Structure 1
Amino acid sequence: MIELLVLILVALLVLIGGERGLFTMISLIWNLFVLAVLFVLMTWGLNPLVLTFIGCLLICSGTLFYQNGKNAKTISSFVSVVIIMLILFFFIYVMAYQSHTGGLNELMKNDDMIFYLSTDIHINMGSIGVAMILIGLMGAIIDTSIAVSSGVYEVYNNNRHLNGKELMKSGMSIGGDILGTTVNTLYFAYIGEALTLFVLFKNFHYTLSEIINSKAFFQEVICIVFSAIGCVAIIPVTAAVISYLLTNADKFKRYLDEDELFIEKK
């Protein structure tokens, strides 16, 4: 069934997306490869946080630059994603370690399969918890950032007289339009994944207090909250970066591929 689903996905990407769909598929394979290498290196004892940042940069650059080229939209999105991840890293690190979110939760410890596995793996599980949140955060904010930068790009491409302040206002407006659906997408994605968890809570007769203080529940909630915070915070950052880049195009022209936007203005 997995092979069938993968074939359907590949067929739809090629038939509907055409060349862009093919690039998307290659980018997806690249991202899976990076994650696989990331996990292997973690098991070798390398620092999970350093590996996660390097992996996120590789995934982000592959997703943005390979599929869409190096232009104002993708560079603005990449810079914005890095800024938000660096800002939120401190809060994620403190929250994860203070709450001991890493490692096996109480439901995993009661799983029969765990009795056949060794938990002495010599890896800092607190760092693994932070890495999990960072990877989820990156996936959420890339979509929001590229949506805002693409919108502002099109606005400026059709209204070259707009200044940075006006473009920033347009970016905030675009971000506000997509904010509700983005947060809801995150919410339902995580809730759908956690349905089994809620069934277990019901069968084990957890009280509301026990659910809120459950490690299994918190591990899901912290990913939702930080991803939502990142999606909100990246809107003004992306709007500011793309507005500055577009209105100061001549300063950055040498860093960009050939782009019709940077032809001499009419």
Structure 2
Amino acid sequence: MAHVHIHDPVPGERRPSSERCRRLLAVLVAPFLAATALGVVALWPGDGAIDLVPELGMSGELFDGRVVGVQRGACTGTTPDAGFRCVRAQVTLLEGPDQGEVIDLPEQSDLGGAINLEIDDTIVLAYFPDAGEGFEYSFADRQRLGPILLLAGIFVLAVVGLGRWQGLRALMGLGASLLVLSTFVLPAILEGTNPLAVALVGSAVIAVVALYLAHGVNAWTTTALVGTLASLGVVGVLGALFVDAARFSGLANEEATFLQVTAGQIDLRGLLLGGIVIGALGVLDDVTVTQVSAVWELHAANPGLSRWALYRSAVRIGRDHIASTVNTLVLAYAGASLPLFLLFTQADQGLADVINGESVAVEVVRALVGSVGLVTSVPLTTALAVAVVGAEAQERGRPPG
């Protein structure tokens, strides 16, 4: 998904782009936009998506309840010294057909204090009206919308407070990205369409909408867009090559196993590839926007720089950015897999054995493919930006020295 960008407009973009510059950009971006439009039309989901909810036995409605009583002790049928702990709770229903009633929830295993219910906690209950008496309601999860909405509000205030109008446009781009994922990418994959093709087309749509909303329709943004889309292609090709070379099954986690059982028409290896592409997009557009901004700023500060000098100066900035971004990308994947790493460490397996396991190898390939895409995006986007700036300078009668 695309990051929220709040870069200020660059000085060189405050005047209209030259005709030569616009023609060059049109030639560069037109094939990408045409391919994206055709891809959306060809891959747009119909009515053939799988309904996974009944397949997974999760067709119950969800209602909120408030805990009014909690008892902890040995599970039914076990002795206190067996070590099996369970929790029993009484809950007032806040919603649903039995609103206001107090019910006893079925006994739940409390392994490691995972449930940890307290009086006055608001929880989510699954309601199965056809279940036996006393089992119509069961604990599903905690109600977490309150703190999540509070954090989202802080995020919005921070982005708008710093970026002002441009920050607001960036948030609109973020909303559009989520809309593309929910209305196109996910339904198309559930319909059995090739996940890699859907991810590439969906990522292209997200990049177009998010970048133009955040930065406006201009030469600067279009250059960053072309660099982003070209780099995404590199990520897609590399991902396809190495996912195939590593012979991944796509069954490295529980969710994928559920999909395999309930939705056999979904290509799980393709789904893995699609995840690599979409995951790389958020960091790629950050790098490409920064590189284009660097070229425009350097040219505005010193219009006499030759194209080669401009390119070298901007790439030096890119090296610093890449050094921190690659580390961020790898640490993000490592952090997401931390429980898995702890499990392997506890099993006293060697590093080679840990990396060879599919669950870890998938994350390694994901991080490395994304990192190579990032590194590639710096010289690629910088060269595009220098070409566009050079074309504009020539049109204005000031060719770079």
- How far apart, in 1, do the equivalents of 2:278 and 2:242 lie? 16
Structure 1 residue 2, shift from structure 2 partner: 1.4
- Pick the aligned partner of 1:130 from 250, 273, 284: 273
- Pick the aligned partner of 1:8 from 129, 140, 154: 154
- How far apart, in 2, do the equivalents of 1:115 and 1:223 lie? 21
Aligned to 2:209: 62
Aligned to 1:121: 264
Aligned to 1:90: 237
How does the TM-score come out when normalised to structure 2? 0.58
Give the 3-state SS of the residue equivalent to 2:176 in structure 1. helix
Distance 1:159 1:26, change over 3 A: same
- How far apart, in 2, do the equivalents of 1:229 and 1:118 lie? 34
**8 Å CA contact 2:173, 2:211 repeated in 1:** no
- How far apart, in 1, do the equivalents of 2:236 and 2:251 lie? 22
Aligned to 1:258: none
Structure 1 residue 83, shift from structure 2 partner: 1.8
Is 2:242 aligned against 1:99?
no
**8 Å CA contact 1:211, 1:217 repeated in 2:** yes
Moved more, 225-234 or 6-15: 6-15
Mark the structure with the bigger radius of gyration. Answer: 2
Q: Tell me the amino acid that sits aligned with residue 178 of structure 1.
A: H
Distance 1:116 1:89, change over 3 A: closer
Is 2:153 aligned against 1:22?
no
Distance 1:175 1:195, change over 3 A: same
Question: Deviation string for 1:144-200 (max 9, x for gaps)?
Answer: 111111011011112222232222112211112212111121122222212122122
Aligned to 1:47: 194
Unmatched 5+ residue regions in structure 1?
A: 252-261
After superposition, where does 1:1-266 map in structure 2 within 5 Å?
1-37=147-183, 38-105=185-252, 108=254, 118-249=261-392
Question: Deviation string for 1:95-145 (max 9, x for gaps)?
Answer: 11232335221x538x9xx68993443111111111111112222211111
Structure 1 residue 263, shift from structure 2 partner: 7.5
- How far apart, in 2, do the equivalents of 1:224 and 1:67 lie? 27
Distance 1:195 1:22, change over 3 A: same
- How far apart, in 2, do the equivalents of 1:130 and 1:181 lie? 24
Question: Deviation string for 1:196-238 (max 9, x for gaps)?
Answer: 2212223444443331111110111111111111111111111
Q: Tell me the amino acid that sits aligned with residue 54 of structure 1.
A: V
Identity value in percent: 27
Distance 1:223 1:30, change over 3 A: same
**8 Å CA contact 2:231, 2:374 repeated in 1:** no
Q: Tell me the amino acid that sits aligned with residue 236 of structure 2.
A: F
Moved more, 61-70 or 194-203: 194-203
Q: Tell me the amino acid that sits aligned with residue 345 of structure 2.
A: K
Distance 1:18 1:222, change over 3 A: same
Q: Tell me the amino acid that sits aligned with residue 86 of structure 1.
A: G
Question: Deviation string for 1:225-254 (max 9, x for gaps)?
Answer: 111111111111111100000110279xxx
- How far apart, in 1, do the equivalents of 2:271 and 2:263 lie? 15
Unmatched 5+ residue regions in structure 2?
A: 1-146
Distance 1:25 1:233, change over 3 A: same
